[in-house]
A and B are shown apart, each in its own frame.
Chain A
Amino acid sequence: MLDMIIIDGLSFSLPLFVMAIGGIYSERSGITNLALEGFQGFGAFTGAFAAVYLSGIFGASSDVPYYASFIFAVIGGGMFALLHALLCVKFKADQVVSGVVMNILAMASTSFLTKRINTSFFGNTANKFMLGASSRITLPGLSDIPVIGAVFKDIYPFEIMILVVAAVMWYVLYRTVYGMRLRACGDNPHSADAAGINVYAVRTVAVFISGCLSGIAGMSFAYSVSANFSPDIYLGYGYLSIAALIFGNWNILPALFACLIFGFARSGGSAVIQELGLPSSYNDLVRILPYVLTLLLLVFFSRHNRSPRALGQIYDKGQR
Chain B
Amino acid sequence: MRKFTLSCLAIIISLIFGALILWLMGKDPVAAYMNLLQGSGLMEKAKYAARQNMFTDFMSFIDALTPMIFASLAVALALKGGFFNIGVSGQMLFAGFCAHMAAMFIPSKIVVVIVGFIGGALIGALIGWLKCRFNVNEVVSSIMLNSILMYLITFYINTFYVNPVSRQSKAISEAARLTLSRFRWEGLRIDIALAFPLAIIMALLLHWFIQRTTYGYEIKASGLSPQAAYYAGMNVQRTALMTMTLSGALAGLAGVSYFCGYLASIQPGVVPSMGFDAIAVSLLGGNNPLGCVLASFLITVISKGSIYMSSSQNIEQEIASLITAFILTFAACSAIFAKKGRK
**A binding-site residues for B, Cβ under 8 Å:** 34, 87, 91-94, 96-98, 100-101, 103-105, 107-109, 111-112, 115-116, 236, 239, 242-243, 246, 281-282, 284-285, 287-288, 291-292, 294-295, 298-300, 302-303, 305
Contacts and interface: CB of A to CB of B under 8 A. Distances in A.
A298 B147 contact: no
A93 B135 contact: no
Nearest to A92: B336
Most chain A beta-carbon neighbours within 10 Å: one of B147, B152, B324, B339: B147
B336 A97 contact: no
Contacts of A242: 140
Contacts, number: 128
A287 B139 CA distance: 20
A161 to B, nearest CB: 28
Given A105-B325, A112-B319, A288-B152, A303 B134 contact: yes
A231 to B, nearest CB: 9
Given A104-B280, A236-B147, A87 B141 contact: no
Contact of A236 (B84, B130, B135, B143): B143
Interface of B: 25, 84, 86, 130, 134-137, 139-141, 143-148, 151-152, 154-155, 158-159, 276-277, 279-280, 283, 316, 318-319, 321-322, 324-326, 328-329, 332-333, 335-336, 339
Nearest to A115: B316
B333 A246 contact: no
A288 B151 contact: yes
Contact residues of B: prevailing secondary structure: helix
A298 B137 contact: yes
A295 B333 contact: no
B336 A93 contact: yes
A284 B325 CA distance: 30
Given A100-B276, A105-B329, A108-B324, A91 B336 contact: yes
B279 to A, nearest CB: 6
B151 A108 contact: no
Contacts of B325: 101, 104-105, 107-109
Contact of A281 (B135, B140, B159, B339): B159
Contact of A104 (B139, B159, B276, B318): B276
